[in-house]
Amino acid sequence: MSESKIDTRLWSSKARNLSPYVPGEQPQHDNLCKLNTNENPFPPSPKVGEAIAKVLTQQAEELRLYPAPESNDLRAALAQSYELDINQVFVGNGSDEVLALIFASFFLKERPLLSPDISYSFYPVYAQTFGVHLVKIPLEEDFSIDPDAYRQPCSGIIIANPNAPTGLLLSLADIRKLASEHSNAVIVIDEAYIDFSQRASETQVSAVSLINECDNIIVTQTFSKSRSLAGLRVGMAFANASLIEALTRMKNSFNSYPLDKLAQAGATASVLDVDYFEQTRQQVIDLRTSLTEALIALGYDVLPSHANFVFVRPKDGDASGVASALREQGIIVRHFDKPRINEYLRITVGTAEQNSHLIEALTVLHADNSVTSD
């Protein structure tokens, strides 16, 4: 709706002052090489479709009934998979909803919430939505996070790990340090991309392993990335039972049944298909490695990514120009027109074909450019 036609007379001042989150473009047509919203290049486990089809054929009639309000089967499957108790697990309508409920439950306090200046751009939006005072802590020059920079009174700290859009990973030692130095604050580790960490199969990288040790850590994860289910809208949080209880109450003060019957069935099947999960996440990691090498060969600076995207800087820093040129060829990548990162592009790791297509396009583009600038 064009701004001039909007009549805000009946809106609350909160509604008037919102600056909503702008998700990456979701063109609803084909023929595009879509590397802009970090979706998984692989389809979800076939077990997901089977489980949903089973509900449709054997229990279609049951769609008339409300779903399980606390998604107990799904939470039980997650608890078993992550070796937690079911009351340490919360699920919601995508990790975005889970994060919103976290903001509403823990950060509406005198002390501010701390977050890196460059991170998931929904955090400042939530802060505005819920009236939370957010203080941004600058990343280091190399985009890494220095835990010592967070030494100030706060209601909480929220960090995407791996961070978005940089893809850099904070160590478990640093997370433990943050949690113990801020024992009166809630430390949210947003692990949307953690399953793609290079070291995921070798060493423990997820802060889920700290839940029983640190009662003030909440870890959020999502089915949208490593489980290829962005279309199903399921996210989760892991924490000690008292923090999960707060989220549950907040949920039941907002929307009692956020997960529909089919999403619950599909997500549960996804959790149970461990082999498929391990196999596809390793494939994405391998594809990232080859994409990284190809980009470096083209002269790009590529940050060491632990996610299913790479954060890269073209030699001349004209990220915006590269994004536009790719767009003309039907390849969409994400450019953030923001201080410090406007010379970078965030490129989702695609299929082998998509990555080749991208590299070919960039090869031609930079060959042309170098001819022009000679």
Minimum CB distance to a second copy, residue 229 (Å): 6
Segment near a second copy (CB under 8 A), from 15-23, 300-308, 315-323, 357-365?
15-23
> Residues 84, 154, 158, 185: which binds a second copy (CB under 8 A)?
185
Binding flag, residue 249, a second copy (CB under 8 A) = yes
> Residues 114, 139, 179, 232: which binds a second copy (CB under 8 A)?
232
Could you give the strand order of the β-sheet that contains 309-313, starting from the edge strand earlier in sequence?
A: 301-302, 309-313, 345-348
Segment near a second copy (CB under 8 A), from 53-61, 143-151, 327-335, 362-370?
53-61
Q: Kindly tell me which of 261 and 334 has the beta carbon lying closer to a second copy.
A: 261
Minimum CB distance to a second copy, residue 88 (Å): 11
Which amino acid would we find at residue 154? Answer: C
Cα–Cα distances in Å, from 113 out to 20, 129, 217, 241? 19, 14, 14, 22
Q: Contact at 8 Å (CB) between 61 and 252?
A: no
Minimum CB distance to a second copy, residue 364 (Å): 27
CA distance 216 to 242: 10
Minimum CB distance to a second copy, residue 80 (Å): 18
Segment near a second copy (CB under 8 A), from 97-105, 159-167, 291-299, 309-317?
97-105
Q: Kindly tell me which of 205 and 291 has the beta carbon lying closer to a second copy.
A: 291
Binding flag, residue 153, a second copy (CB under 8 A) = no
Considering only residues 289 to 348 of the shown chain, the ones binding a second copy according to CB under 8 A are: none
The 258-277 site mask, x for binding a second copy (CB under 8 A), equals xxxxxx--x-----------
Binding flag, residue 350, a second copy (CB under 8 A) = no
Q: Kindly tell me which of 103 and 300 has the beta carbon lying closer to a second copy.
A: 103
Minimum CB distance to a second copy, residue 31 (Å): 14
Segment near a second copy (CB under 8 A), from 39-47, 160-168, 308-316, 327-335?
39-47
Minimum CB distance to a second copy, residue 231 (Å): 4
Binding flag, residue 231, a second copy (CB under 8 A) = yes
Q: Kindly tell me which of 319 and 355 has the beta carbon lying closer to a second copy.
A: 355
Binding flag, residue 106, a second copy (CB under 8 A) = yes
Binding flag, residue 254, a second copy (CB under 8 A) = yes
Binding flag, residue 61, a second copy (CB under 8 A) = yes
Asked if residue 162 has a cis previous peptide bond (ω within 30° of 0), the answer is yes
Binding flag, residue 29, a second copy (CB under 8 A) = no
Minimum CB distance to a second copy, residue 333 (Å): 16
